[in-house]
Structure 1
Amino acid sequence: MNLPETGFLRLAQILPQREVTEAEAQRNREAAAALRAEALAKGVKPKNDNRPCRARSATPGLIPGSPTWWWRGVREGRFPQPVKLGPRVTAWRVEDIRALIDSIA
């Protein structure tokens, strides 16, 4: 992947993404709806279910690893700190990711 000179990358652009079939995405949507309904029936706030709800093809990513591994590295200072672009949007500066890749290589 050619990185732009400047800008931001989301975690899905940094780490590899596995393929999600339409059938799996549909099962995830149904499970999430059931969890939301159950939580609302109990009068509690529904938990965020992070299972993918859209089909997608696999992508290799720039750095091999899992999101848990990545966030642990961010917390421990091994990886760059993210930038909040909005209340639900977290990204990393391209320059920081390029420097990380160079230091690994």
Structure 2
Amino acid sequence: MSQLPETGFLRLPQLLGNPKANPPTPPLIPVGRSTWLAGVRSGRFPAAVKLSPGINAWKVEDIKNLIASF
């Protein structure tokens, strides 16, 4: 968790990892995309913030709290 900034936003590839990136991005949350989105809908995971049409992100503070709760 030390690699996360104090504040800001994270996009889905930053949370779930991106093996096709160069270099590959390791996942912060080890679940698949559909599991993550179902968890957001059910309230298990934090809700996204809509930054613009088609761009959703999650607050770093919410993700840090989620990781700490594991």
- Same fold per superposition (TM over 0.5): yes
Following superposition, the deviation at residue 8 of structure 1 comes to 0.4
Give per-residue Cα distances to partners, 1:13-43, cap 9 Å, x unaligned.
0002222xxxxxxxxxxxxxxxxxxxxxxxx
What does residue range 1-105 of structure 1 map to in structure 2 within 5 Å? 2-19=3-20, 56-57=21-22, 58-104=24-70
The two structures have a TM-score, normalised by structure 1, of: 0.61
Taking only the aligned residue pairs, the percentage that are identical comes to: 54
Give secondary structure in 2 for the equivalent of 1:61. Answer: coil
Whichever residue aligns with residue 40 of structure 2, its letter is V
The 1-side partners of 2:65 and 2:43 are apart by 14
Task: Note the aligned Cα RMSD (angstroms).
Answer: 1.2
Q: Which has the larger radius of gyration?
A: 1
Question: Whose relative contact order is higher, 1 or 2, with alpha carbons under 8 Å and at least 6 apart?
Answer: 1
Contact conserved, 1:79 with 1:100, CA < 8 A, in 2? Answer: yes
TM-score, length of structure 2 as denominator length? 0.89
CA distance in 2 between counterparts of 1:59 and 1:4 reads: 16
Q: Which structure 1 residue ranges, 5 or more long, are not aligned? A: 20-55
1:65 deviates by 1.1
Q: Distance in 1 between matches of 2:8 and 2:19?
A: 25
Please give the alpha-carbon distance, in whole angstroms, between the structure 2 residues aligned to 1:4 and 1:10.
Answer: 13
Tell me which stretches of 4 or more aligned residues in structure 1 moved more than 2 Å: none
- Matched letter for residue 19 of structure 2: R
